[in-house]
Structure 1
């Protein structure tokens, strides 16, 4: 992973974590996403299929008012193929990657009309939280510029923003964080320098499975969704340096 990406992610997450309001959180999130041309967004929970009160789950609405009114009036939530995909898939996806089988005529109409409202390209980041229903951060624009290398950055920031908005007004976790071991810190510092799992296994003289086991432990201790998130959280805890 490039050090510039880590620095940008560190800066964005720091702004979100020090924000004192939803508006401040969204300002930091919006600034980061606009870098990739993603100007429209919706951050929301996903209630049960065919639920008619889905709007109560919305955490942040960055859609255009015109599209929001159209979406609600036509009950597009019930037919949106992005919603259907996010319910069962944990992986982020581009709108253009939606399975063709999900684009029945009504679903295709939703996507076609979104394009008419200036949202021709987009990304969905499904949110799956233990003991809670699914959610999604969806972003779109008439044209986005998102290279594959940027997807971990986008996924991390979307999940972190969703969690931060959900946690507003709730007591923080007062448990002392579990520190990383010396080997875990060493492994994470190699990851921050852009080394792959196989590279790290070779450098440390261990198997790939051992490295992956350490990575799982690291993510668990840091409550991180991926390597990028773990690196930033460890940096903020001053457990590693880059």
Structure 2
């Protein structure tokens, strides 16, 4: 399933469990079918199972889940800690290369591998009022390639996060959100993978002006992420990207800081 098919299906999904199943299926197509979604610095009342916070929805192996929560690994998990202070998606393999990791943090990663989660990608996600969530994708395959899949998993995570938020909260009046022609132009080029500098050249205006318009859009759509702004704008029908296929998706972010 390409990303825009995923967006279309997510838009039509009526339950949180169906939405999570849709995400798991799409991630499994990429070889990363073990998925965990959690709240880092807030308590989400809408959850798919009676897991201790910060878990909201996950399908990691049952024995690993029990072990993880019994030992309260979420208090020392380097994935959770990194998500609270970084904006870009990252690979678990990268964490092990960091010399500043404490022994307990390394233990969590090593034990997760022993539990069958061989490789992982985590995506920090941001919402209103400083809320931070994290969505992690893991693979049971030794030869899984997180470098190759990180951008697509990032895009799936952002769309899921938006759709989950809309399903779990009271409906808002989307008609109140309007974008100017210039704001729509900036978003459309962002969706094509263009940087602010690129868009400035195309539209013959300064890079600072492009950043100004994009920041206005992000405020209107209540996000701090350009990626989420594009996804929300498409979902709400504020912009259209004719002819954009999965193979031409933008490179949303770099794999590492």
Aligned match of 1:9? 3
How far has the Cα of 1:227 moved from its partner?
A: 4.1
- Name structure 1 gaps, 5 residues minimum: 1-6
How far has the Cα of 1:55 moved from its partner?
A: 0.9
For 2:84 and 2:159, locate their aligned partners in 1 and report how far apart those are by CA, in whole Å: 19
Answer yes or no: is 1:93 the counterpart of 2:87: no
- Name structure 2 gaps, 5 residues minimum: 43-49, 243-257
TM superposition score normalised by structure 2:
0.76
Aligned match of 1:130? 128
For 2:128 and 2:185, locate their aligned partners in 1 and report how far apart those are by CA, in whole Å: 29
Q: Deviations over 1:160-192 (max 9, x none)?
A: 323433554532112523222122223333334
1:30-69 to structure 2, matched below 5 A, reads 30-46=24-40, 55-69=52-66
How far has the Cα of 1:123 moved from its partner?
A: 1.3
Q: Deviations over 1:21-54 (max 9, x none)?
A: 1221012211221232112121112358xxxx98
For 1:79 and 1:59, locate their aligned partners in 2 and report how far apart those are by CA, in whole Å: 18
CA contact (8 A) 2:159 2:231 kept: no
CA contact (8 A) 1:42 1:139 kept: yes
CA contact (8 A) 1:152 1:228 kept: no
Aligned match of 2:107? 109
Answer yes or no: is 1:21 the counterpart of 2:11: no
User: What RMSD, in angstroms, separates the aligned Cα atoms of the two structures?
Assistant: 2.9
CA contact (8 A) 2:128 2:222 kept: no
Aligned CA distance change for structure 1 residues 167 and 207 (closer, same or farther; 3 Å): closer
76-85 or 105-114, which deviates more: 76-85
Aligned CA distance change for structure 1 residues 225 and 155 (closer, same or farther; 3 Å): farther
How far has the Cα of 1:15 moved from its partner?
A: 1.6
Q: What SS does the aligned partner of 1:140 have? A: strand
Q: How many residues align?
A: 231
Q: What SS does the aligned partner of 1:55 have? A: coil
Aligned match of 1:154? 153
CA contact (8 A) 2:93 2:119 kept: yes
TM superposition score normalised by structure 1:
0.80
